[in-house]
Each structure stands twice: as structure tokens, then as C-alpha cells.
Structure 1
Amino acid sequence: MDGRSAGAAIGPDRTSFRVLGPVEILRDGAVQGPTTAQSRCVLALLLLDLGRTVTAERLIAALWPAGPPASALNTVRVYVTRLRRLLAGDPTVTLATVGRGWRLDCDPDRVDLYRFRDLVSRARHDGPGKAALLEEALRLWRGPALADIAGDEWRESLRTGLEEERLAAQEDRIEQDIRTGAARDVIPEAAALVADHPVRERPAQLLMAALDASGRTGEALAVYRRTRRYLVDELGVEPGPGLQREHRRLLGRGQDAAPFDRPVPQQLPGDITGFTGRTEALARLEQTAGSPVAVVTGIPGSGKTTLAVHWAHRAAVAYPDGQLWADLRGFDPAGRAIDPGAVLGVFLDALGVPPAQVPAPTEARSALFRTLLAKRRMLIVLDNARDEDQVRPLLPGTNACRVLITARTVLTGLVARHGVQMISLDALDHGEARDLLAERIGAHRADSEPEAVARIIDRCARLPLALAVVAARAAGIPGAPLGALADELEAGAAPLDGFAFADDGMDLRAAFACSFRALSPAAARTFRLLGLHWGPDFTADAVAALLGEPLAAARRSLSELVHLGLVGEFRTGRYRLHDLLAAYAAELAAAEEEATARRDAVARLLDWLLRSADAAAAAITPFSVVTDDQIPGAAFASPEQRERSAAWFESERAVLLGAVDEAFRQRFDTYAWQLARSLEAYLRRQNAAAEREVMHRTAVRAAERAHSAEGLASAHLRLGIVQSNHGDKDEAREHLQAALEHFEAAGDRNGQADTCLVLCILDAGAGDFAATLAHAVRALDLYVRAGNTAGRVRALNNIGFCHAHLGDPARAREHCLAALDLAAGIGDTIGEANVLSSLGTIEAQFGEHARSVEYLRRAVALGAESGERNFTAAALTSLGETYAATGRTAEARDAWQRAVAILDELGRPNAAAVRARIAALVD
């Protein structure tokens, strides 16, 4: 933000937001809504996490703390849609869907909370204008924050933190008025604060100073007596050091000391000039002010120290007895962690303990430290901690003090014993990364080369330390184009070459090496081999395969890597490695692992992925036409097994797609085309046509290089399927003919029949039902000779479909009913659903609407049970047509709306056509 008055930031016809009072959207100064407490709650959460994704789960928890209804997710989507309508028309404000959540983006100047915080921050650094800035900040408050939103429990927890910010700013402004000679004017305001917040000592201290400066010292002393009596009677504690010092000053001791000028420890390093980003982490630190200890963790280079210093400067005003700081050097390049006893010696000295009175044992120093802090309100920052044992002696024994710890390790023991608040830092988002660069190299320079900035951010993988190193290099050569720097980073022989720095504290390899050296041999090997994983994330099972070790051993190594901050567990059971740490791991693997060992590790991982994908594919489509040898028992997969298999595919989707490319790159050609074959079953259900096409083109190249007739037949068939449904029909026919030739040469009747059924799709789409029938009849003959009952179901269904279009309903029904009996006999749910859909369409075509509805409703139910969303949407569309043809408009609308919901989730363009049918309905 710049130095403008925050109040002047909003121009005409621009959207702004208010949360410091009722939650409101304003356009050109006029309130636009939201009109319900629930919508205001959703808006408030989005604004408090401005620029960050707010998950659906978090919104649901805020709206329904006692437990959500079954319709909670859909209801939240309705609230978001309403907010989008209110925000329409201002292109500078966006409300984007991000996965299972939403992100609101706009200039922070548009939100009163961020304008308030900016003004307060500037006031704490400015000179003569402090009081005016604070007054302007306080005018933004229109009552209690978040005054009219739903979710009482959530609202109150957030309001407490925001109210603390307001009170601190008000106290700062009163103090400035006293300093500048307006003590008499602030007495009523200070007295009201004391009455409203009797356990808060700073208002009493301010009122005493204001009364004394106004010549009313007796009344000031009476304020002290009343405050002390209340604290002792109600809380059982004596006043803190700040209030006691003011009392002693008024009694005549220390007459040379002016109010607020008593020396206290001020050990914080200088604040970071132009600090940007980390909005969510700062908000969490401020919202957890009631927790006495907070720990900020994150990978090396994630900006833990920078965040701690910046937040500590913002929070220092709430701790009048001073701030203590220590760099514990837990992961120092020299390998020397600071002994906690030495740190305590420095702290005790800062607290005024003469050297001769500092005990030698660490335990005794810790006890004295806790005693001295028992009646103080101090902020203690412990940077770069190694483990719990180093930190525990440095913790005060009172909740009046606040401790902030930064650590690469996850201080699990500390969390368990002391109820510590954990805040984990990941890479910056793209906007924060750009802001950091722009702040360091100049906004004009960054704006002039946006493409180069984007490339630099990508190469730095949004890691703050990497961005700081590159910014320092760019700042050192102010006239050089950023594009040249981006070229240099991308051309480096190793990804980390561009981030070397003379100062070890700014060198990425040195930062990473400090953590790597602390690993056990088993965990170090695991980290190196993880450099061979193409990502973006992985499970313990995958790591076990990579290592060739039992699962228990992989979990032990992963636990150690997570503890030391080299690997993150971002979701239960799933882990990831930051891109630059992955590059470092790959460097170590290349240097310390034999080439044969590296190749064997990749082969083990590919083999595990293929076996797992084969089993999952058989579970979700056990009777698919385009499927190879069945896994024993796969035909009897339960709905729970199918659901787990689909979930596994979704979790491993990116890994599996990457595995096809990686297998081809490393010449594991058989794995490449076999993985593509297994992954097709899932991606087809997800309507992922583009990914399927790219994957199967790679599979064709891999099979060609491997001279595998089986692989070529499989890859050409699947590429033909994609093209027949979503692409070039002529190219589809070429691939299908190639597949047919390879299957015929191999004597594979099932493969030939599968290909014939796909040729049915092509000819039916062209309206040539005679050719379609010929393909279907040939497929049936091949399936019969192969003994493939599931294939016979599909072929008979297609034959029935053709006879219906050729005007022969009797033969159409005959073949479809025969297919239905076969499908039911072998438990082929998906085949049964397809036949029922065909029967429903046939009956509707010949005017038998009641039977059509019966068949189609059964088809919809079986499709939903099988998880076949594409099929279910198609069956619902047909069901809606039958309803509409008989004048049952309400039921038609319901069926089509259900179809649209599925098609929208799949991103299918034909959703628009179904919407048009809904719009055309006449009740």
C-alpha cells in the first residue's frame, strides 16, 4: 500500500467492503447487501482471508457449528452465487471458485479492516502525525466488528481479536494526546475505558497519567487503589509492572522519569521494510492472542523469521514490559545450536539481574526467569529453535506473556504439553510472491516486465528466500532487464544454481543442507530418493515402493522428514516436497546414489502404481468393454470398494499422468502404455478428454518403441475412443482400424470385439445404422467365441439400438431384453443400466411412455450406484424427455436439473442444451 490517506482510496462506481461494524458491500458509497446473516457470514470469512482460498468445509463449520444439514454444501453455493451477483459489474473484484472453496480478490484498500491496520501500522512508524492517523483509523469503526453475521461462536472468537486491535489503537491515540499536551481532553475517554475493561491495566495507567498531567494527582492515585483492589479481589493478582511504575512515579520516586519513558527491554531486530504477504498467517497470530505460545513452522527459506519479526513489531504495543529476542541457531550452518542456559543469561541481564546474582544451573536460571516474568506482560520471540528441549526452559510460567517460536521441526511435544498454537508456512501464493519482488525491485520495474516476473516466480517456486535472493541480484543491477535474469535462472545447469549467495544465511543450498545433515541415514536415503519422484505429492505406500522397504520403515523415515520440515503432510496420509527441496533432493540422489539404484527405485515405484491402478480400474468398471484380463473377484466389487478405488484414482491422478510421461522419458515403455490403459477407466468417467488424448498419444509412441503389438492395439483403441467421442472422426477411424489389425494379428477376439463396438459409435453418429448393425453383429460373434458374457451384453444392446433406429421395435426389444437377462445374471450393474436406458428410449420412441419411465428410472438409479456420472446425466436427460412428452413438466424439470448439476460438475458443454430445454418448459 502507498502513503495515501486510506479514506481516499475508494473512487466512484467502485466496490468496497466493511466489517468493522455491520458487514456490508458498498457500491459508489451505497449499501448493496448482503441481506441475510448467513450471506454476511460467508462474505466476512472471505474478507478476513482476502486473497486466500476459504474451503467449503470452513464455511460450513462457521454457519452450522452444531452440525451441518445434508444440504449444507449446496446452501453455501447458493450464498456464494448471491454474493457474485452483488459483486457483478466491478472487474477489479473477483470471487473465484478454487477446488472445494472460494477466493475473494481485490485491493485491500477496499476493505475497512485492512485500511484500519495500514493506518495503525503507519502511525507506529510516523512522527508528528501519529495521533491523526490513529484517529482516522478509529473512525472506520461503526460498532462491534462483524455485528450482524450468523454463527455466534465463530463470530465471538474473531471479534475478540479484532476488538483487541481497536482497543490497542485507541490506547495508542490516548497516549499520543497525553504526550502532545491534550491530557485534559482525554480524561473522560480514558475513564470510560477503565470502566468498560476493569482487568485491562493500560487504560488505568493512561487515566492516571492524564489526571496527573492535569494537576489531579490525588485522583490519579485513587484510580490506582481502585484498580489494584479489583485485581486482587477478583483475580487474585497484583498490578503489573507498568501500572506499578506509574504509581511509584506519582508517589514521588523517580521524579525525573516521565510517564511511559521507563526503560524496558526492546530486543526485537528491525522490522522488515515493505513487508508483504502472509495475510492468513498474520491473521491467525492475531486471532490467537489468547494462546500464550505460538509456533511458526515451515520448510527452510519459507520466511519464518521475517514473519516473526514483522508480527512482533505489530504486537509489541500490547506488551508494555518489553520484548525479548533470541536466535537459538537450531539449524545454523556452523552446526552450533545455542544452549538454553546461555540464552537465559542474556534474558536475565536484560531484566536487570546483576551478573553476580545469576545462578549457574540452567534449571535455576529458568526458575528465576519465570519468577521475574510472573507479574509482567512481555513478548518473547525464540527464533530458529531446534527441538522442545532447547525451548522448554525459556517459557514463562504465566499466560500474561506471549511467546512466539519459529522452527523447522514440528515441536510435537511442546504442542501436547503446553497447548501451543501451530502455524505452518507454505510457499507464497502468486500474488504475494509478485508483491515481494515488486517491493524489493520497485513496482514500476516489475510492472514493465510482467512475463519475466511470472517466470522468475515460477523458477523460485514462490519460496520467499529464493525470491529475496533473486530480488537482491536484480536490485544490484538496476538497469538490467528482468527477462535476462529469468533466462539465466531457467538456463542454469541445476535448478538451485541461480540461488547461490555469498552469505550462508541467504544461500538456499546452505539452508537446505542444515536440515539434511540432521537426518538419520535411513531418512537421508529416503529424502534423496524422493528427488526421483515426479510429484506433486505421494503416500507412504509410494515411498515404500521407491525404497524397496516395508511400509513401517517408510513411515518412520517420513515422520522424521516431516519433523525436520523437509517434507510436509498437507493432508492425512499424503505428503509433498517443495519444488526447490525436490531439486535439492534430486541433486543429492545424482551425487550419492548409483545410476542402477536410481533406475531400480523408479521401476519399483512404476510397478506399484501399475498394480494399484489395475486393481482400482477393475473395481470401478469390472465389466467394461474396453478392459483386459480381469482381476479375480473384481466383478463383485462392492459400492464401498468402487468408491475407495475412485477416490484413490482422484488422489493419484496427477502422479499417474506424470508416471506415463516419466516412464516414456526414462524408456520404461511397457509401463507407459500399461499405465495409460489402466488410467483410462477413471479419466473416461471424469470426462477428461484432453488428458486422455495426450496420455494415449504417449502410449502409442511407447508401444511403437517397445515393438509391442499388444501395446499398439491397446493404445490405438483408446485413442480412437477419445477421438470418436471428442475429436476428429476420421482420425478416430484410422486408430480403430490400426487397433483392429493388431488385435486380429494377435488372435485377440475380445480386443477385436471391443473395437467393433467403438466403430458402432462412429457410424451411429453419422446416422449409418446399417453399418452400425454390422459392427455390432460382428462384435457379438467375437464375444460368443471368446466366452465373454459381459461383452455379449454390450453387443446385444447395440443390436437392439440399431433395430430401433431401423424401425423394428420388436427385434429391438428382443435383443435388449436378452441383454438385460445376461447382465442381471452376472451382476453387471453398468451393463444392466445401459440396457435399461436403451429400453427406455425404445419404448418412448414407440409411444410406450409408462414403460419408458420405468426403465429410465431404474437406469438412473443403477448409474448413480455405479458412480457413472456421464451415463447418469444422459439417462436423466432421456427421462426428462419422456416426462415432457407426456406433459409431466414438473418431473421433467427435476430430471433435467439433476442432469445439469452433473454435467456442470464434469464441465460438459451439453449442459447448455439441457438448460435450454428447462427454459422452454411451459407449466
Structure 2
Amino acid sequence: MERMRCRRIAPGRPLDRGTMAGAPHEPLGFAEITNAQRYGPPARDDRFELPSQRAERPQQLPMAPPWCIGREQEFDELTTALVAGEANTGPSVVVVEGVAGVGKTTLALRWAHRQAEAFPDGQLYADLRGFDSRATPTRPETILRGFLLALRTEPNSIPPDPDAAAALYRSSVASRRMLIFLDNAWDADQVFPLLPGADSCAVIVTTRRHLPSLRLRGATSLRLATLTPAGARSLLSRHLTEQVLDADVPATTAVIRRCGGLPLALALVASRVADHPSFPMSDLADELRQESTMLNAFNAGDDTSDLRAVLSWSVASLGDDAARTFRVLGLAPLSEFTAVTVACLLGCPPEVAGKNLRSLEITNLVQRYKPTRFRMHDLVRAYATELLGNEETLRYREEALHRVVDFYAAAARAADLLLYPYRTAASPPRAPSGTERFLPNDEPAALTWFDEEHQTLLAIQRTAMNEQWPEAAWHISHGLDTYQYRRGYSSENVATSQIGLAAAEATGSLRLQASATRQLGRAHTRVGDLQNAESYLHQALELEVRAGFTAGRAHAHHDLQRVYSLLGRYDDALEHATSALKLYQLDKNLIGEAHSLNAQGRQHAQMQNFAAAESCCLRALELHTENDNTSGQVATLDALGYIAAQTGNPQDAATRYSHALALADEFRNYFAQAEINENLADALAELGAREAALQALHRAYELYAGQNRRQEAERVRARLSSDQPGNDT
């Protein structure tokens, strides 16, 4: 009898197919045949089953957070991309990106647990540790090995070659409907080997960085924004009782505002409050108001619950130039900025600043929300300010801020002159070298620039005053005046004009004080505060007389006639309009002459002298047209429309108003549009065009309300409520 041959299988070593029945090169031994014949097939032993024969369902997801607030839309987007997407298009991959602490992992985990049934073959999870202060990013081959083991691949069967291991992994998941969750990815190279090859699997990747190369391969990008104020309060209410939140509503509102919708920050301050329930919320609000100590409130005692530490992991990934850019951004109190702004801060070409901003954008330390505009979260900016050491602050602060302020002062004045080139004032400061080409170069560009930079200009003006650079603050005030009038930003016009007057007084210049006082009087006129308007304009007239500035005196008289006209003192208004006309003619100022003629015409019309009124206004329209002064044409056409309406010619009135409205629309003068629409509604109602009249009246109401012109808006609302578009109601 042939001797029985036994083969010892090393522990942990997979069975070779040569040891199985039917292997051609190694026949079965006698004992094996005998036992098979005697006892039948051996019982199944899962320990010796090949990986391909096992039905394993890994469930590696970490415990889900108890809630995820304010992310309903993002939940739907994940479901659409990963569960309800088209089949046979390759694996579905969604990259969830955003700034540190915005809740990327929370969102993804909550969604993954909620959608677990959609992945019957299980879930694989790995923390790639892309932003971990305690470890370097995990190598993909390490993750691959863990995934293969979870799929019950025998350890010794995992190839040492990373490419071969990745191929085996793809084969192992090819026929499975699984979710693969790759958390905290550093870059795309870390992710590529972990992507399945078949369309049966779905992949979520979370990261603080942009990973465009994944998008090039078909991944969907979901950038997570901060929570809305309502969402932020809802999140706080999950940690704290409504009683605590409602005990001091202003303090709670201040805390929410300081957290800026960042879920990590909200959770950390909620923890502070919960630890000391007897402490008033106002104490925390006061702490958060202090820029120098604000970040202390966002520290729960370990790296994962310390906002500074979490942000530091992102900053540590930056190169030297980008890191310096990040720190210097803490100098400027700006919620948004451009490459030109950063170039002024750094004293470098805008192209270099743009490159550094791109590095910050990749790590989500800044967000590009328009092609040329960036934002930085307030808490991120506070951290940037802390990183700027005292020596670096002293070295850069004054010089850097001065360049920024000078650029905005120069740009505001340049844009203002494009909106209304007939203004006379002191020469503006020069823009910093290299930024001149970024100044607006035509009227549409000027309006767009003001629209984008309005809030920034308000902050820059305050900065200029705080730094005791009053001339720049005055230039910004002066530059904003026309734009704020056109847009109907009347309350903002008063505020910036008040700062402008304080700045002018600080310069000691009589000319600047006269101009600023007159501008403030005009701003009060626009908000209907006629008592203050009259007072400031008389002061301005006295200052202009002392300064010996003929055009300034004419301007003051012209502005006073408007106040007296609104007060119903038409004789006084006509007297100031006549004085303005004489001074403008003396100064050979044709545009001023046209404006004062139109003003005279309006006062004559108010006093029922319609022939004189029409004569003045027609001459004014001729001068404005000859000098291509569109805003003057709008005002004069409106006056001619009023004259036509008062003399029983509604068709001519409607024509005049429509022409004026078309011009006002052309250069987006919202302030004038509101009044002209209301006037047009009256003319259309007289003509029997009721629907068109109601439409014009609705538009007038929207414009008045949008400009916070409450008295006018209420007047029009009452007319709409009575369903009578004409002015007889």
C-alpha cells in the first residue's frame, strides 16, 4: 500500500488549489480517498473558504452624530448623486469639501447611516488623516490592506505591490453594492487607489481642500457652507434648552453672529454654556466681542475640540508665501476682498497675490464666491490675526493698510467721476503702483465696481478714520455720494457723509468742510429730514462764501431750493434757484446752469406758472442733451412730465415719464425710478390704462420699500390697497 502523504499547512497561510481534489499535479492521498468514501464530503468550514466564496458585509461606519441641522438640501444632493443617479456610468463619487469645523464628516456620516439599506453589501470607512496634528496622512496602501481584510481577504493573499493590491480591491468590490467612505482626504493621490472600478459602489470623500482632479474623473463636488442664522439657532437648541436661549435674546443673537454659522464653533460655545448653566449668556457674548481673546471661547480642552488647533492643521499645509498671505489678511477688517486688495496688503503684483489666494482657496481657508472675489470666515480671520506676531504686525500694518485705503479712495473717486463727471473737488490720492489698471474705466464698470465694493468701502472708510487718515476718509465719502443716491442707499449716504464731515474737519481744509457739510445736508434731504438738511445747507453756504468758491456757493443754493420746495415754500425755493443760476452762469458752468433752470421750472410749475415752467425746463433739457448729461435729462423730463400732467395733457406726461424712466433704467438710478414710476402710474390712470398704471405703481412700491423710504412706500401701499392707481385717492 502506498504510504499516506501528509502536507502541513502553515498557520495563516491560504490553501493552495493544488491541495484540493482534482488537482492534476498532485493526486489525492489514500487516506483522503478512504475518508471521503467512508464519511462523505467534509463539513463546510468557513475558516478555509476562499475569499470569493464568502458573503461578508462589513459595516465600518463610525457612530453617527445624534443630529445634523440645516443640511436638508445637502442630504438631497447626496441622495441624488449616490443613490438615485444614473446606472452604468461608473462609480458615483461625491467630494464634500469645506472649511475646518463646517460639519463635513457629520453630514456624511448622518447621510450614510440613514441610507444604509441602499448598500446591502455594507460600508467601508477609513480616516485618511489628511489634517491630523498627531499623524501624517495615511498611505493609500495601508487603507487598501485594511479594506481587503474587511472583505475577508487572507492576509498572505494581499499583494505587497500597491497597484496589485488596488486591482485586487477593485475585483473584490466589483459585484457588490457598497458605500465607501473616505474621510479627511489630503489630496487626490490619496484617494485614487481607493476608488472602485465598477458602478455598483458609491464613494463619499470629505476634505478641507479642493480636489479638481477628482472632478475631472467624474466626481461631484459638494461644498459645504456655514449655517444660516436660523440653522445656527436650531443647532444650539439641540445642545441647550429654549429657556436658556430665550433668557437673553440679544446675547444669544450676538453669540450666534460671532460663531458665523460654523457648527464646530456653535457646539463648543454650547458646551461652555452647558458646563456653567448659572452663568448669564451675556458673559459669553462679551467675551466673544473681544477680538484679542475671542478664540479662547472655542476650546474644550483637546485638539479635536479646539478651534485654533483644528485651523492650525489647515494652515500647516501652506507654503511660506501662502502662509504669509493668510497672516496678512488678518490685518484688514474686510469680510471680502480681491487679488488687488491682497496685492495692496502685501505690496506685490496682483498676479502674485492671486496665486497665493488660490493656495488658500484650495485649503478652504478662503472661499471664492465670485470669479474675482473671496471671503474669509470671521473666526478664520481672527486666527490669522493671532498668527501675525507683534513684530510682523508693526512691520506691515501701517504700510499695508495705507496702501489698501489709498487704493479704495482712488478707485471710489475714479468710479464717481465716471458716474457723474461734472463734480468739482480736491484731487484724489494716487492708487498704489501696479493697481492703476484695475480702476473702473467706464460708467457700467463703475456701477458694477460700486455694487461689489460698497460694503468694503464702508469698512475702509471707518478704518481710515480709526487710523487718523482723514483725507482718505473724506475722499471715500465724496466718492460714494452719487452711487448711494442712484441706488437709494439713503441711510448709508447719511452715515458716510457724517464721517466725511468729521474727516474734513480733521483736515482743517475749509474747502473740504464746505463740500462735506453740503453733502451731509443733501443726504438729510434724501431721507426726508428737512430740518437738519436746511441747517447743514445754510452752514455749507456760509463756508463756501468764506472759501470764495463760486461753484460751491451755487451748489449750496441749488440744494437749498430742493429743501424749500419739499417744504412747500416755493417762493424761497425759486429765490435760491435764481441765485444758483446766476452763480453757475458767472462760473461758466453749463451743467449747473441746466440744473438750476430745471429747478426754476419746477418752482414755477408749483406756483401754477406753467408757461414759464415749460420754458425753463425745455432750455434745461436742451443744455443737458447738448452736454450728454443723462442724469440731468432724467430730472428735466420728469419735470416736463409733471407740467404736462398739470396742464391736462396726460399723453404727453406719460411720454415724458416713459422717456425719463428709460434713461434712469439705463444707468440704474433706482432713486429716480421710484418717483418716476409713481408719476407714470398717475398719467397712465388718466389715460385709462389701468393695468399698466397698477404695474408702474407696484414697481414704485418695490423700489421705495427696497430703499427704506418708508413714508413714500406707505403712501403707495395705501393706493394699491384701495385698488385705485390714480392720484385722486
Residue from 718, 724, 729 that aligns with 1:920: 724
Separation in structure 1 between the aligned mates of residue 58 and residue 506 of structure 2, nearest angstrom: 72
Separation in structure 2 between the aligned mates of residue 532 and residue 568 of structure 1, nearest angstrom: 18
Displacement after TM superposition at 1:884 (Å): 4.4
Residue 356 (1) aligns with residue 356 (2): no
Equivalent residue of 1:299, what SS?
A: coil
Separation in structure 1 between the aligned mates of residue 155 and residue 719 of structure 2, nearest angstrom: 86
C-alpha contact 1:622 1:630 (8 A) present in aligned 2:
no
C-alpha contact 1:561 1:567 (8 A) present in aligned 2:
yes
List alignment gaps of at least 5 residues for structure 1.
Answer: 1-251, 632-638
Equivalent residue of 2:95, what SS?
A: strand
Partner of 1:868: 669
5 Å-filtered alignment, 1:651-690, equals 651-690=452-491
Partner of 2:60: 267
Equivalent residue of 2:221, what SS?
A: strand
Partner of 1:295: 95
Separation in structure 1 between the aligned mates of residue 222 and residue 701 of structure 2, nearest angstrom: 41
Separation in structure 2 between the aligned mates of residue 362 and residue 890 of structure 1, nearest angstrom: 73
5 Å-filtered alignment, 1:735-884, equals 735-849=536-650, 851-884=652-685
Partner of 2:210: 410
Q: Deviations over 1:367-409 (max 9, x none)?
A: 1111111112221111111101111111111121111111011
Q: Which moved more, 1:668-677 or 1:736-745?
A: 736-745
Separation in structure 2 between the aligned mates of residue 838 and residue 921 of structure 1, nearest angstrom: 20
Displacement after TM superposition at 1:921 (Å): 5.6
Separation in structure 1 between the aligned mates of residue 460 and residue 703 of structure 2, nearest angstrom: 29
Q: Deviations over 1:385-439 (max 9, x none)?
A: 110111111111112111111101101111112x111111122222332233232
Partner of 2:519: 718
Residue from 315, 338, 344 that aligns with 1:539: 338
C-alpha contact 2:598 2:639 (8 A) present in aligned 1:
yes
Displacement after TM superposition at 1:897 (Å): 4.6
C-alpha contact 2:328 2:345 (8 A) present in aligned 1:
yes
Q: CA RMSD in A?
A: 3.0
Displacement after TM superposition at 1:461 (Å): 2.2
Separation in structure 2 between the aligned mates of residue 916 and residue 409 of structure 1, nearest angstrom: 53
Closer, same or farther: CA 847–608 of 1 in aligned 2, 3 Å: same
Separation in structure 2 between the aligned mates of residue 739 and residue 787 of structure 1, nearest angstrom: 21
Displacement after TM superposition at 1:851 (Å): 4.4
Residue from 463, 469, 476 that aligns with 2:275: 476
Residue from 68, 72, 92 that aligns with 1:279: 72
C-alpha contact 2:56 2:151 (8 A) present in aligned 1:
no
Equivalent residue of 1:767, what SS?
A: coil
Equivalent residue of 1:920, what SS?
A: coil
Displacement after TM superposition at 1:854 (Å): 4.1
List alignment gaps of at least 5 residues for structure 2.
Answer: 1-42, 86-90, 430-439
Partner of 1:610: 409
Closer, same or farther: CA 595–359 of 1 in aligned 2, 3 Å: same
Closer, same or farther: CA 578–769 of 1 in aligned 2, 3 Å: same
Q: Which moved more, 1:755-764 or 1:773-782?
A: 773-782
Q: Which amino acid aligns with 1:760?
A: Q
Residue 496 (1) aligns with residue 295 (2): yes
Displacement after TM superposition at 1:544 (Å): 2.3
Residue 392 (1) aligns with residue 192 (2): yes
Displacement after TM superposition at 1:895 (Å): 4.6
Residue 464 (1) aligns with residue 257 (2): no
C-alpha contact 2:56 2:121 (8 A) present in aligned 1:
no
C-alpha contact 1:379 1:402 (8 A) present in aligned 2:
yes
Closer, same or farther: CA 686–492 of 1 in aligned 2, 3 Å: closer
Displacement after TM superposition at 1:898 (Å): 4.7
5 Å-filtered alignment, 1:75-86, equals none
Q: Which amino acid aligns with 2:325?
A: T
Separation in structure 2 between the aligned mates of residue 461 and residue 335 of structure 1, nearest angstrom: 29
Closer, same or farther: CA 591–416 of 1 in aligned 2, 3 Å: farther
Separation in structure 1 between the aligned mates of residue 232 and residue 498 of structure 2, nearest angstrom: 36
Aligned sequence identity (%): 37
Q: Which moved more, 1:605-614 or 1:801-810?
A: 801-810
Separation in structure 2 between the aligned mates of residue 887 and residue 372 of structure 1, nearest angstrom: 78
Q: Deviations over 1:794-836 (max 9, x none)?
A: 0111122233334433333332222222111111122122222
C-alpha contact 2:487 2:668 (8 A) present in aligned 1:
no
Partner of 1:383: 183
5 Å-filtered alignment, 1:156-555, equals 263-289=56-82, 290=85, 292-334=92-134, 336-417=136-217, 419-442=218-241, 444-491=243-290, 493-555=292-354
C-alpha contact 1:335 1:514 (8 A) present in aligned 2:
no
Q: Which moved more, 1:894-903 or 1:405-414?
A: 894-903
Closer, same or farther: CA 278–602 of 1 in aligned 2, 3 Å: same
Separation in structure 2 between the aligned mates of residue 560 and residue 455 of structure 1, nearest angstrom: 32
Q: Which amino acid aligns with 2:642?
A: T
C-alpha contact 2:428 2:475 (8 A) present in aligned 1:
no
Closer, same or farther: CA 715–480 of 1 in aligned 2, 3 Å: same
Closer, same or farther: CA 271–872 of 1 in aligned 2, 3 Å: closer
C-alpha contact 2:127 2:183 (8 A) present in aligned 1:
yes
C-alpha contact 1:872 1:899 (8 A) present in aligned 2:
yes
Displacement after TM superposition at 1:460 (Å): 2.2
Q: Deviations over 1:597-650 (max 9, x none)?
A: 2111111112222222222222233346x877799xxxxxxx994333222212
Displacement after TM superposition at 1:742 (Å): 2.7
Displacement after TM superposition at 1:491 (Å): 4.9
Q: Which amino acid aligns with 1:459?
A: R
Separation in structure 1 between the aligned mates of residue 509 and residue 395 of structure 2, nearest angstrom: 25
C-alpha contact 2:409 2:473 (8 A) present in aligned 1:
no
Separation in structure 2 between the aligned mates of residue 334 and residue 308 of structure 1, nearest angstrom: 23
Equivalenced residues, count: 660
Q: Deviations over 1:767-787 (max 9, x none)?
A: 222222221122122222322
Separation in structure 1 between the aligned mates of residue 156 and residue 93 of structure 2, nearest angstrom: 31
Q: Which amino acid aligns with 2:672?
A: F
Displacement after TM superposition at 1:451 (Å): 4.3
Displacement after TM superposition at 1:264 (Å): 2.6
